[in-house]
Amino acid sequence: MPYAIPRSLSVACLVLALAACQHSVRSERPLYDQVGGEAGVAAVVDGLLHRVHGDSRLNGLFETTDLEDLRRLVNEQLCEALGGPCVYSGRSMEDAHSGLAITDQEFDWFVEHLVAAMNHAGVQSKHQSAILAVLGPMRPQVVGQ
């Protein structure tokens, strides 16, 4: 068998492949860190809430809301959802939005404000897409409750 690969070489290749794989997994930083950690998330949340509260199509929904509490909870939730070192301590999305009867249109306006806030905070478009992919699936838990 002139082309047989020596056993020791095969083992060496396998070890190298595993090491490379482990390295790529280790260098995959959480999205939370990639968007600037605590300060990066806070900039997005502040921009989002500021825009939502300035929008007369949406701000009536927040009339009785404790805004400081909301700010803290949205920061916590986004931090946890992006792989950061937080534990969300708020209500479920269904409970938090229960009785508000939020429509798909209102959800879309909210997302438009989120995108504007991310642009303003300088979040790269690949990270914006990843954040939207995390929040988008929450639509059915928010709309129509």
Residue numbers at the binding site for ligand HEM (CB under 6 A): 58, 61-62, 64-65, 70, 73-74, 77, 90-91, 96-97, 100, 102, 106-107, 110, 135, 138, 142
User: Which residue matches tokens 């209102």?
Assistant: 106
Minimum gap (Å) between residue 80 Cβ and ligand HEM: 10
Minimum distance, C-beta of residue 109 to ligand HEM, in the bound complex (Å): 7
| C-alpha to C-alpha distance for 122 and 108, rounded to whole angstroms | 21
Name the residue nearer to ligand HEM (CB basis): 37 or 62: 62
Q: How many CB atoms lie within 10 A of CB 75?
A: 20
In the bound state with ligand HEM, the residue whose beta carbon lies nearer, of 2 and 137, is: 137
Q: Which residue ranges are tagged as binding site for heme?
A: 97
Residue nearer to ligand HEM on the CB measure, 61 or 120:
61
- Using DSSP's 3-state secondary structure scheme, residue 144 falls into coil
Residue at shortest CB range from ligand HEM:
90
Provide the minimum distance between the beta carbon of 118 and ligand HEM in the complex, in angstroms, as a whole number.
Answer: 13
For residues 77 and 97, what is the distance between their CA atoms, to the nearest angstrom? Answer: 15
Residues 6+ apart with CB under 8 A from 60: none
State the minimum distance, in angstroms, from the CB of residue 37 to ligand HEM.
19
Whether 105 and 55 have beta carbons less than 8 Å apart is answered as no
Task: List helix spans (H) across the chain.
Answer: 7-26, 31-34, 37-53, 67-81, 93-96, 104-120, 125-135, 139-142
Which CB sits closer to ligand HEM, 28 or 38?
38
